[in-house]
Amino acid sequence: MNKIITIGREFGSGGRELAHHLAKELGFAYYDKEIVEEIAKRTNLAQHYVQHIVEHKSAVFFPITTGRTLHTAGSDYMMRQYTEVYSQQANVLREMAEKSDCIIVGRCADYILKDMNPTRIFVYADMQAKIQRCRKNAPEHEHLSDHQMKKMIQKVDKNRAKYYRHYTGQVWGDRENYELCVNTSISPIEDIAHALSHLI
């Protein structure tokens, strides 16, 4: 069986960057935005719409894994779209994991691929470190205050937590769901990736 690493991450923690460096260190395939692109192809939905779905909790109130439908105006159509996107997401993740050793960022991969025994990593950081990293990577035209940046980070993390709980029934970031929880607040991402590559 291939070696699979899943990486969940707080917004601004550098989780995506860590995953990228770790994939290079280990010589593993790296999957992130490619997942959304493939889902969009299979569902004939726009990439930005698929991205919105996979980053937010479904608008319906029942977990789509139950297969229930709500008989309110427009809900059937939305339910089918969310169901299709999640179903294709699970298919894409499994296909990617079966190809070769790989690192997969986000998308409930730790839960979806649990029967393939992935090494599950959660990346976090203190708020000041996240604000600094977001400011460093922000577009030139973006001029948010620290307070505004903090609110944005909290909103993104809240959406990720809701999405994860909605589809898995588990608490996002709970240490019991991961083999490793990594704090990126102080050490350089490259150094952490190098140390993790030896540990793994």
Q: What angle do CA 43, 46, 49 make, to 5 degrees?
A: 100
- Residue 116 is given by DSSP the state G
More confident position, 55 or 153: 153
Q: Residue 128, class by beta-carbon neighbours within 10 Å (0-12 exposed, 13-18 middle, 19+ buried)?
A: exposed
What is the share, in percent, of the chain residues with pLDDT greater than 90? 60
- Residue 105 is given by DSSP the state E
- Residue 200 is given by DSSP the state -
Q: What pLDDT band is residue 137 in, cutting at 50, 70 and 90?
A: confident
Q: Report pLDDT for 59.
A: 46
State how far the Cα of 120 lies from the Cα of 156, in Å rounded to an integer. Answer: 21
State how far the Cα of 96 lies from the Cα of 113, in Å rounded to an integer. Answer: 11
Q: Report pLDDT for 180.
A: 97
DSSP H or E stretch at residue 157? helix 146-168
Cα dihedral across residues 180, 184, 186, 192: positive or negative: positive
Average pLDDT (121-142) is 92
Q: Which amino acid is at 161?
A: A
Indicate if the pLDDT at residue 33 is higher than 90.
Answer: no
Q: Are 161 and 102 in contact (CB under 8 A)?
A: no
State how far the Cα of 94 lies from the Cα of 112, in Å rounded to an integer. Answer: 8
Average pLDDT (4-31) is 96
Average pLDDT (33-39) is 80
User: Helices 127-137 and 146-168: crossing angle, nearest 10°?
Assistant: 100
More confident position, 51 or 13: 13
pLDDT digits (tens, 9 = 90+) for 57-100: 444 433 434 344 444 445 666 667 777 787 888 888 999 999 99
Closest CA to 131 of 118, 148, 107, 155: 148
Query: What is the CB neighbour count within 10 angstroms for residue 83?
Result: 16
More confident position, 156 or 137: 156
Q: Report pLDDT for 55.
A: 67
Average pLDDT (156-173) is 92
The 8 Å CB, 24+ separation contacts for 74-82 are 81/43, 81/45, 81/53, 82/53, 82/58
